[in-house]
Amino acid sequence: MKIKTGIDIIEVDRIKKAIEELGDNFLNKIFTESEILYCNKSEIIKYQHFAARFAVKEAVFKAISEYTSGREDALWKDIEVINLESGKPCVNVDELIKNTDKTANNINIKDIDISISHIKEFAVASAVVVIDE
């Protein structure tokens, strides 16, 4: 068993500009349909939500990067941020595990714990991934 960690911080304005300039092309490349729906529900802080989810994807990718064959574009949507009924964010990696052809090795992820925080200017996320080898 290995415990891997990843962390990421991103400027909210960077994500906002990408969405404004690239629109649906950017959104549909990076985020799942449910992530887009969740973020758009909160008009006041929607860009903070998008930035936070982007940071989670980066943090998880950093934690599992030694198990991937490279920075595959397809991995973006294979790491999905969802919220439990309590509101706690968590990660769904069912697609990542199912699409093991995108990885150098089969990833046997046992658990992922994430933490997200955001303010007007920045979003940050950390991920702790338990991998059974």
Domains of the chain: 2-131 (3.90.470.20)
Entry pTM = 0.91
Q: Is the torsion defined by CA of 100, 104, 110, 114 positive or negative?
A: negative
Per-residue confidence band for 9, with pLDDT thresholds at 50, 70 and 90? very high
Q: Which phi and psi (to 5°) does residue 119 adopt?
A: -130, -175
Per-residue confidence band for 17, with pLDDT thresholds at 50, 70 and 90? very high
Each residue's pLDDT tens digit, 55-82? 999 999 999 888 776 656 557 998 999 9
Cβ 130 vs Cβ 3: under 8 Å:
yes
Return the bridge partners of 116, or none: 125
